[in-house]
Amino acid sequence: MSVAAKLHVGMSLAPTWLSGEAWRRADSDIGGVFSSDYFVDLAQRAEAAYVDFVFRPDTLFLRTEGLETGGGFASMDPTMLLAAIARETSRVGLLSTVSTTFLPPYVVARQIQSLNWLSNGRAGWNIVTALEGHENFGLKQMPSPQERYERAAEFTQVVRQLWASFPNEALKLDRESGRFADSSLVRPVAHEGPHFSVKGPLNLPAHASRIPLVQAGASPEGRDFASSVADAVFASTPDMQAAIELRADLRRRAEEHGRRADEVKLMPGLSLYLASSRKEALELFAETHARANRARAFASIRDMTGLDLSEWPLTRIVTASDLPLPPETPRSRTHANLLRRLIERETLSVADLLQRPEVMGSGHWQIIGTVEDAFETIREWAQASAIDGFVAVPGGSVASMRLVLEQLLPRLGDAGLFRTGYSGHTFADHLAE
């Protein structure tokens, strides 16, 4: 990436700044997290900062063991939430998350295309295969990663065929002649595949603006799938070298699929704990995780690596030689590989390991410090061609979240690393800049 290139930035609508102990702060407005007003306000703030899109992650299960101390995965349906936001915004992209493992492609094609109409061309689809939730959809166990991605590839193909089955140019809306549409342009998809049988066509015409596709994940199957269809990849890259390697691999795979290397953009999650000083930012991080469940962290390490640290002294160093053979079926191979990579590359005590994002969260790139600290780190990654942008995942407090939108993004804009205004009106327009 050249220094002159502009970064693409998404803003997570998952209120990560209310995670841990942060929801207990006086300014958290925790009572609003299941209302549209809360997220409309956030989306409007993000639009005022000129982000490419706002993004709502999603899961289709609930971990009740964490509900005593936090919201966990309790959330509204992302597509319905973004439909409410569409009415109150005009430029920002709206990226909804829908799994290809549980729902029929016809329903998903119609939902996302409906959002595209409601937002006047600002919808996007974050394609996930899901890690859990099978028991809520009549499945005894989750399909293997290979099965999930095979299904995802066919699912995405069917959705795109359905979007094309009733093209926008078929709409005539000619009052004088009485011709509503050219029915010869509306064709069934007649899809028959290993996983789906779909006749089509979709009962909704395509909007004139195309719907960008984003893929979340960085497993080998995920990388190959993303490089074949996605406009952007949302992934965990806890250090710059991991991002450089992933971006290079995605670009290489894209060319193997007959696409240009720059057609797929790497936008890792960026966890930001920001305050007016580094000391305050570190205190914010510590306060947020004051009641972190250590037993759950040890269980996560064991599940991902096979290494049981529950009886180890916190000061003991964990080395690569301590790692057993990796478990055959970790919950997430991507996160398991990131954790093993961390242990193999760095010298960390048990206490240090428990504080790392590979253990505490989703393994996202993390910055704890001031706005200027964040700016310098992002600039360094951009100059190293490690990223094409990032998805902001603020943490710690509402104030931290607002520093991202009101100070960090303008600072990037002033340095020529991010837009200072919208030039287009659709999600696809923003990604094309």
The whole-number pLDDT of residue 361 equals: 66
* The one-letter amino acid at 128: V
pLDDT digits (tens, 9 = 90+) for 218-276: 788 889 999 999 999 999 898 999 999 999 999 999 999 999 999 999 999 999 999 99
Cα(234)–Cα(354) distance, rounded to whole angstroms? Answer: 24
pLDDT digits (tens, 9 = 90+) for 269-320: 999 999 999 999 999 988 888 777 777 788 888 888 888 888 898 899 998 8
CA distances from 152 to 17, 130, 144, 147, 280 (A): 31, 10, 12, 8, 44
Calculate what percentage of the chain has a pLDDT beyond 70.
Answer: 98
Secondary structure class of 114 (helix, strand, coil): helix
The whole-number pLDDT of residue 297 equals: 80
CA distances from 179 to 167, 182, 203, 205, 417 (A): 16, 8, 18, 15, 49
Is the model's pTM score more than 0.85? yes
What residues does 393 pair with on adjacent strands? 271
